[in-house]
């Protein structure tokens, strides 16, 4: 991490339009209630902005069943991309609180646009129980929160691919998935064909989280100006993170989650961070939002000693 006061812009995205379960709209405020702003200030951060991106009410008609609520999600993501870009331009670190994972099409696009202006690529580390690599053609549900990574790589619906600017936002060689343990069959094919780096829970069990993190950071940092991290709280085991909509057993432990964030802080390559899919309606005593707050603090340099 850089020394001195660090400017931070916090963007809440109270959206659950991309998900089948309602409730992720409350994620940003739940993380705020867990004290994230005060905690970051104690880490020598200056919170220069902390507000929500406007999200429309859920329409009765979702539109095309293969891309449910596409129009509304695209509008939110365009607004988020513009806000993230402006934060970068103002030398402020963008922290995005969600909200369902479809928002990453906007947050990553904002980082991409800024670094594109510097003639640099960005790396992307996607920490998630799921691949989020479905397209409208392969998705069994039409829920866009299962598609954002595919669209960031240039696959799928052209309107979603074009959020924040034309074309793919990341190169497959600089994209890494960590914590994967629940994939659709067609999604597996999309992952293999793109050639992104995938570390499932099997690789984490086999090689250990430290080695996986080292390899992930190395791949995402290769010839890039920075690494955007999009962290779905369902990457953590449901015993830790009950407050999320799409749970999958056998996930990352408390220390494995923190180790990843700590190693990202040590790398000094982190250029943007999403913490998504916190759902207070599924939570108990706000414990999942507290975990989210703690993980963000680790990414900003909070250490044990």
Given 132, 187, 203, 262, which residue is catalytic?
Answer: 132
Look up 266 and say whether it is catalytic: no
Q: Which stretches does DSSP call E strand in 110-242?
A: 122-127, 175-180, 197-200, 226-232
Given 16, 72, 78, 101, which residue is catalytic?
Answer: 101
Q: What is the residue whose two structure tokens read 């020598």?
A: 44
Would you give the DSSP letter of residue 101?
A: G
Given 16, 100, 128, 237, which residue is catalytic?
Answer: 128
Look up 159 and say whether it is catalytic: no
Q: What is the residue whose two structure tokens read 């432990």?
A: 253
CB 52 within 8 A of CB 28: yes
Given 16, 78, 100, 145, which residue is catalytic?
Answer: 145
Given 72, 78, 100, 232, which residue is catalytic?
Answer: 232
Look up 100 and say whether it is catalytic: no
Cα distance between residue 271 and residue 284, in whole Å = 32
Look up 132 and say whether it is catalytic: yes
Given 16, 78, 88, 130, which residue is catalytic?
Answer: 130
Given 157, 277, 282, 294, which residue is catalytic?
Answer: 277
Look up 145 and say whether it is catalytic: yes
Given 234, 256, 274, 294, which residue is catalytic?
Answer: 234
Look up 222 and say whether it is catalytic: no
Look up 128 and say whether it is catalytic: yes
Cα distance between residue 221 and residue 213, in whole Å = 12
Cα distance between residue 219 and residue 126, in whole Å = 12
Cα distance between residue 260 and residue 64, in whole Å = 38
Look up 182 and say whether it is catalytic: no
Active-site annotation, residues: 101, 128, 130, 132, 145, 232, 234, 277
């Amino acid at each position: 991490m850089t020394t001195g006061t660090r400017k931070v812009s916090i963007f809440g995205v109270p959206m659950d339009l991309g998900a089948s379960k309602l409730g992720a709209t409350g994620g940003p405020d739940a993380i705020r209630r867990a004290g994230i702003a005060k905690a970051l200030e104690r880490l020598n951060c200056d919170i220069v902005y902390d507000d929500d991106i406007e999200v429309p009410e859920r329409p009765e008609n979702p539109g095309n069943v293969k891309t449910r609520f596409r129009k509304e999600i695209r509008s939110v993501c365009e607004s988020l991309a513009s806000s993230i870009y402006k934060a970068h331009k103002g030398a402020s670190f963008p922290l995005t609180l969600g909200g369902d994972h479809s928002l990453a099409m906007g947050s990553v696009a904002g980082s991409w646009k800024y670094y594109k202006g510097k003639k640099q690529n960005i790396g992307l580390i996607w920490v998630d129980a799921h691949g989020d690599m479905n397209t409208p053609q392969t998705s069994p549900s039409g829920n866009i929160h299962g598609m954002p990574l595919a669209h960031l790589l240039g696959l799928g619906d052209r309107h979603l691919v074009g959020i924040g600017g034309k074309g793919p936002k990341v190169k497959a060689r600089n994209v890494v998935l960590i914590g994967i343990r629940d994939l659709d069959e067609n999604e597996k094919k999309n992952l293999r064909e793109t050639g992104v780096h995938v570390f499932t829970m099997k690789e984490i069990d086999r090689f250990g989280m430290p080695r996986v993190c080292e390899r992930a950071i190395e791949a995402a940092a290769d010839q890039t100006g920075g690494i955007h991290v999009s962290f779905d709280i369902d990457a953590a085991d449901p015993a830790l993170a009950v407050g999320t909509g799409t749970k999958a057993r056998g996930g990352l432990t408390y220390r494995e989650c923190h180790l990843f964030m700590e190693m990202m802080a040590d790398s000094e390559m982190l250029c943007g961070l999403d913490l998504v899919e916190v759902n207070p309606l599924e939570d108990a005593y706000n414990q999942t939002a507290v975990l989210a707050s703690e993980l963000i603090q680790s990414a900003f340099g909070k250490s044990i000693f």
